[in-house]
Structure 1
Amino acid sequence: MKKVLIITYYWPPAGGPGVQRWLKFVKYLRDFNIEPVLYIPENPNYPITDTCFINEIPDGISIYKQPIFEPYKLASFLSSKKTKRISSGIIQSKNQSTLEKVMLWIRGNIFIPDARKFWVKPSVSFLSELIIKEKIETIITTGPPHSVHLIGLKLKEKLDINWISDFRDPWTSIGYHKKLKLTKASQKKHKHLEKSVLTSADKIIVTSASTKAEFQEITTKPIVVITNGFDNDLKSKVVLDTNFTIAHIGSLLTGRNPENLWKVLAELIESNVKFQNSFKLKLVGVTSADVLNTIYSYGLENYVELQGYVSHNEALEIQNKSQVLLLTEINSKETTGIIPGKLFEYLAAKRPILAIGPKNWDVGDIIDETKSGKLFDYSEDSSLKEIILEWFQAFQSKKLESNSVNIAKYSRRELTKKLAEIL
């Protein structure tokens, strides 16, 4: 059985989407005659935790750990709320305090590529011996945090081992990168490190076609698209909500703020008494103040259910019960290649997907291919109103459903099969 070393920062009990990709790959790799060996931090500072993921770790796999110095732990003494928000990727564009501005500047210009950079040197030293001991043939690094890729880069330089670099998100083109108050020198350093990784890795894995096209401008190394996916984790059937619920599962960060949707919902509430009496907007996960303020400015506060962060199992149940599932992305060219992991679990839930994002968003191709919902950009409102009203009328007749097709290839096991072929 071939051994593969997977180097990742996020691992159970970490919560959120970052942990799920490689936890699920590890769950199925043995089915394809590949033995995963894990390397993770011993004392990580995870913004959110979810203990239900611990039960999915396969029995008997080797997991090695080394301590990591976490600057966020020190920063939390100044402001634990602001530190947690920044480490979670929530960067408010308005009303930033002086402390928050300073913390962002330090995050962007001192901790390059990110605050986990201090894990690189001790990891390279430890793993150099471990690779020989475990007879590892291939290493895989997954980021963000992109400092994990620097571990792979150093090991490649030192041992000339086969190295696959997995990008769950882009690096310098990610939406929040411009908000980090980077100096020109810092921007140049990020670009240099990104290019070094992309030109040194033997193979690169990305999660979208747009990211692949972006990286092909930088490197000639083979790039393969392996999206995120879904697992059939829900054990029992659920009963649909009796209200006309539109639910967003996951973080609703600054910038993911479809004002045209809030406007349309307000208009429907004003003009349609039946809609007014039935509609609920469920926001499950962290919701930024910017987004909430916009929603409330349209008079929707009495229709909003804020549920905060819930376990993955609870999230699955909520999305399977909801009448419509909302998917949003920041309205910018840089985010066209971002395909949220929740999209694939939405597909598995087989509820209509209402997606609002940038023009030419890669999500549109998947929604069209699977016939699972409708995609709108931030400028559309009349057609958006029409589809919501159409779905509401189907809901009233108890006929609202999603007849999605071609989703089997997005199952975690099928995606792991694709990974195994690369290995």
Structure 2
Amino acid sequence: MKVLVIGSGGREHALCWKIAESLKVSKIYCAPGNGGTKEIAENIDINPEEIDRLLDFALKENIDLTVVGPEGPLVMGIVDKFNEKGLNIFGVNKKAAQLEGSKAYAKSFMEKHNIPTGRYRKYTDIEEAMKGLDQFQYPLVIKADGLCLGKGVVICNTKEEGIDCLNHMMKDKAFGMAGETIIIEEFLEGIEASLLCFVTNGRIIPMESAKDYKQIYEGDMGPNTGGVGCFSPNPLFQEELRKIVQEDILSKIEIGLEKEKMDYKGLLFIGLMINKDKAKVLEFNVRFGDPETEVLLPRLKSDIVDIFEKTLKGSLKIEDLIWKDEKCVTVVATSKGYPGKYEKGKEIIGLKDVDEDIIIFHNGTIEKEGKIHTNGGRVISITALGNTLKEARDKIYKNLNKVAFDGMYFRKDIAKID
């Protein structure tokens, strides 16, 4: 069968890499892809949000299955358009995509269906939002309502920081229309965890757990990024916590999806804050997380194409997901200046010099005249499996010294817990 993967990041490279293991697959296309996907797929020069062009390509090439990586096309309704033409596409429809496309909608959904989350208020007027700051204790969280590539969430420790943030989002329109509506939210204490789930026929089937690192600097300092490291499994997810998450969160989401009449087929990414024996939802995403995908898929034994097909048919069961006992870690190497302004076009050397058991997923790269260059803020994800997290992370940091590009930066404390 022919498979089309939409997107250009590390998540999409990991998806192509895993799909390539399936004996069912004869050809993989990636639109637009990157310097890494080029090794295992045919890159197609179509932007992920050029939905009509992607649809025409899928029809012309008789694509059997399309897998959507990024959130943008999902929010725009790519799944609805493909379904209208009878095409198989893995991803959620436009209605379900609101759970990521609008943080205010997601918080309203949680509130309506008694899903544990932080207290919040929604604002569309900057003056009202300024007054709203006094309704919360510091630190507090300010979020732009729409899609901001993981950068629309700001933790403010003082009122002055809150005022600056509101001006930045609402007055200066730093995130364009995405910041016309904002929410101010209670800051939740605890440890963050990521739980990715397949959703099929009204049932939520969790994958293995993971923990990502959002802040750019070691010790979880500095501004938020799209994620600069990750590991799986998350040691927090012991049996007792799994039960709590199932009863307090997953079962209530299932009820909410049914009551809202959401025909949800695809991925649900749940960002959690764990504090002692309680869990609250920070956010929903409606697609594979990045960099979570880079640590989950290397641990997955099952054929991912089978999983996609069963999810779409409504027949997926928890037993269909078979996992390796090994732990997995990924460390993201970023361009100098990220998540702010950064340069592109720096040649990457040493990619072929790493050990055989190292997997390199390309996040933001491009191939030019046979050489790989940087083409994004997050550039490559150095990934390894190990019997322990320490074994996996030691492999990575040993091999990071073999790869280089001008301005390369990475955190040195990813998965440093055992």
TM range (shorter): 0.3 to 0.5
Q: Which structure has the larger Rg?
A: 1
Higher helix share: 1
